[in-house]
A and B are shown apart, each in its own frame.
Chain A
């Protein structure tokens, strides 16, 4: 009864979160006295998962699963779990996974706990710590069912190297038409650009930018840092930036290593959404802006002066540290 982990890839390449969930699965397996088996779909270099404590990879090479399909992927994982006799399944917190995991849990009669931020606190009863109230709090949650699905928050447990002998086995799944009741028609995504979900650095801006025409410097700053761009709720409501960039309680949560907030005052809903970010920098003209109370570093100043200077200084820094 190994621990199963779904390791996500994109165009054949494992996502960074795949190594984090693999590390988590290895830790759970250690606590349960068993081994960790990964399931990958059309991925290359499957043996790299051995660097993170995975001892077996079930690799599914299947053209009908080239594009993510929540129901089909959930059925494939069920078949893998059944073959391995696995009762504990580890997944990430990506949009795709949050689409799929409820289907998997419902089919397996499994207790599903998403947004888990640490290794299990106990294995009997199985207890995990997760965020709740949109990052305003944490819950310690017990899972009472034999089957369990655990969704690990991005950038929470971390990637832990642990060289392990790994075997890669082809695994074929049998899926009927019923698994494909929802079909992908078109994917609109800029490839190679960091996303809010998995970026190590996020550069976010608010109404202090005065208008969408001023976002050039925000994008330039993000480019230099290899960061994703984000925005506050008013900015997305005004249509200055796409909804997908809205960060906060009703938007996306951010768990980056560095979050730079420019011209964002720091409403409670916004602060909740970014509270899992490790280092927060605030640039704001108003020294009384609530965000300063939640930040690590702050500059009181006008974004239109500070940001261009920051871009210059970071260019110099990059040149020196290249």
Chain B
């Protein structure tokens, strides 16, 4: 089985978000970048398929040279090879077209992406790849078992979960649950050394158009001061009379 894990390079979850250039760009100043958490759960599940079922695991991303440390981290965790499509990821549709091309040329059976990236929250790349290549697709995937070509997946739905049966080739949008938080791997020294020897292929993008454009950004208005109350009765009164939510 050949697996491609699609990785997004995103600000660490603890990052404070600021904008620059007249609020038209995300300010990367002082921001630590990491593997998108939803992708990392998928990558860790891919490692399981590699170790238990002999799968090969490649990782791919769309981005400039600045994303390479994140790719090296994925290699240090245990991916065999990395592919960087040398282009700015202008929107989800563009990224999905680039990655679909990587999938087509690489002959992958299973494509693992994240449910969404925690920066632009588009949540569209895995589903679009599946559609461009006419593959099966499962989103918000929290469990994935594969025997031969037969797949049993569980996805999170609002208020519960749904078990699905499908088959390879398959694209999933993964998230926590595919593996547990405690299963995530911190690269060890051996992994980091090995990662330096692994292939990080840089390929040029195909011609593709963007469909959307973020023209400006802003931040939520700051919250007013909290009203501290001494009694529960007072709170119930305020929720009813002032906030009008009960």
List the interface of chain A (C-beta within 8 A of B): 70-71, 94-96, 98-103, 105-107, 109-115, 127, 131-145, 178, 181-190, 193, 195-198, 200-201, 225, 228, 236-237, 243-244, 246, 249-251, 257-258, 268-269, 275, 278-279, 281-282, 292-300, 306, 309-310, 313-314, 317, 321
Contact = CB atoms under 8 A, between A and B. Distances in A.
Contact of B229 (A135, A201, A297): A297
A199 B115 CA distance: 22
Interface string B152-189: 10011111111111110000010111001110000000
B61 interface: no
B187 to A, nearest CB: 20
A143 B214 contact: no
B232 A112 contact: no
B213 interface: yes
Contacts of A246: 176
Interface stretch (B47-55, B63-71, B193-201, B217-225): B217-225
A134 B228 contact: no
Contacts of B139: 70, 95, 98-99
A134 B123 contact: no
A313 B13 contact: no
Interface of B: 11, 13-14, 16-17, 19, 26, 37-38, 91-93, 96, 118-128, 130-132, 134, 136-140, 142, 152, 155-167, 173, 175-177, 180-182, 210-220, 223-224, 226-230, 232-233, 235-236, 238-240, 243, 245-246
B135 to A, nearest CB: 8
Contacts of B127: 70, 99-103, 106
Given A132-B214, A139-B214, A258-B243, A293 B223 contact: yes
Contact of B228 (A100, A109, A278, A300): A300
Interface centre among B121, B137, B181 (most CB of A within 10 A): B121
B14 A186 contact: no
Contacts of A133: 11, 17, 26, 118-121
Contact of A96 (B137, B142, B158): B158
A83 to B, nearest CB: 21
B130 A103 contact: yes
B162 A186 contact: yes
A37 B158 CA distance: 25
A110 B157 CA distance: 25
A297 B166 CA distance: 48
Contacts of B128: 102-103, 105-106
Contacts of B224: 296
Contacts of B92: 102, 112
B42 to A, nearest CB: 13
A188 B182 CA distance: 25
Given A107-B131, A182-B138, A297 B238 contact: yes
A62 to B, nearest CB: 19
Contacts of A197: 158-159
Given A132-B119, A201-B245, A293-B223, 18 more contacts: A95-B140, A101-B127, A106-B96, A109-B211, A111-B93, A136-B17, A138-B218, A145-B212, A185-B164, A237-B182, A243-B156, A258-B243, A268-B14, A293-B226, A297-B243, A298-B228, A299-B235, A310-B232
Per CB-CB distance, the 7 closest pairs between chain A and chain B, nearest first, are A102-B127, A189-B160, A111-B211, A195-B159, A106-B131, A102-B124, A197-B158
Interface centre among A94, A100, A137 (most CB of B within 10 A): A137
B212 A299 contact: no
B218 to A, nearest CB: 5
Contact of A294 (B91, B173, B223, B232): B223
A136 B158 contact: no
A189 B212 contact: no
B220 A95 contact: no
Contacts of A268: 13-14, 16
A113 B212 contact: yes
12 contacts: A95-B139, A95-B157, A99-B140, A133-B118, A134-B118, A137-B17, A137-B217, A140-B215, A144-B213, A188-B160, A281-B239, A296-B243
A244 B236 CA distance: 28
A112 B243 contact: no
Nearest to B211: A111
A141 B214 contact: yes
Given A99-B140, A250-B118, A314 B236 contact: yes
A182 B136 contact: yes
Contacts of B228: 292, 297-300
Given A185-B165, A293-B226, A279 B239 contact: yes
Contacts of B96: 102, 106
A93 to B, nearest CB: 9
Contacts of B138: 182
Given A101-B124, A237-B182, A243 B142 contact: yes
A112 B245 contact: no
A279 B37 CA distance: 28
B124 A244 contact: no
